[in-house]
Amino acid sequence: MKMIHTVKTVLLRLLPKSIIHLYSTLKLLLRGDYLKLRRQVANLNLNLEMANRRILPPYHQVAGNYLFHNRINQHEAKIYSQNGEDGILLYLISKIGLTNGRFVEFGVGNGRECNTANLSLNFGWHGLLIEIDGQQAQAAQQYYQQQLGIQQDRVQIINAAITVENINSLLTENNVQGEIDLLSIDMDGIDYWVWQAISVIQPRLVVIEYNASFGNQPAISIKYDANFNTHAKHPSGFYHGASLVALTKLGKQKGYKLVGCDSSGSNAFFVHQDAAQAFITAVTPQEAYFPHSHRTKSLNSQQQFQIISHLPFDEI
């Protein structure tokens, strides 16, 4: 066995990566392991995207992946998520384990590209999706009915505008209370204030959008407005949500550790300290922060913030 391992290591060092990826792909095809194949393709696409952004860390020839400062980014993979969140979630869940496989997600669009789709469609999780747009919520309903068939009751979808005033009643009215495994918040607006207000559920893992345009230093959020609309407030779309530092402070108050962000500069991942224990290491906002991959194609983070700096903020 030691000899085989040595030969494999030498081949990995000498053979071109294109040959290694081709062999791996053919092996997965012959085995019929299409889920792993899909993940492999997603990882290759992610690597290509990051190469285009020129933010890749050094590539480890033997390990066959990029050496990110934060370990969770080595596990990024897009299956149904918008960026690499699917892979990060599976990695974190593998570390902290499951209780009930239950989730809640806010801001899912048509449900085809969100943070819980992979868990419900491929791993049997169940939970509640909330979408503010009526047409999008209806499209999501149809999609999950089609995908889950007789098990469609595992995913409940409602059309509602979430506010600080109604979030807890929305959850209790839909029979969601107590401990759940995952909460995902992507509202493009009052994310900070809604997470702060939630009291009827205790998620073990929280994924929440941060605003990378605010940089990695100030602890700020937009002011609370129950009728908040991002583009109505400013046409740039840069004025929404909260900074990573602000969310980290709130997470600490609620008993959560910041464990990292996806490399597109969109979502922050928090694990409750009771679930994390010694399995997950906390990082600082400065260590976890990534600039927004799409916005930085034209403006850096400082330039983005200058455009909206005259608007009202709350210091956290």
pTM: 0.79
Average pLDDT, the chain: 85
Which residues lie across from 184 on neighbouring strands? 105, 207
Q: What is the pLDDT of residues 291-307, one digit of tens each?
A: 998 898 889 999 999 99
Residue 305 and residue 213 in contact, taking contact as beta carbons nearer than 8 Å: yes
Q: What is the pLDDT of residues 261-302, one digit of tens each?
A: 999 999 999 999 999 887 788 999 999 999 998 898 889 999
Would you state the pLDDT for residue 232?
Answer: 93
Nearest to 107 by CA among 92, 129, 82, 79: 129
pLDDT of 59 > 50? The answer is no
CATH of region 70-315: 3.40.50.150
pLDDT tier for residue 22 given thresholds of 50, 70 and 90: low
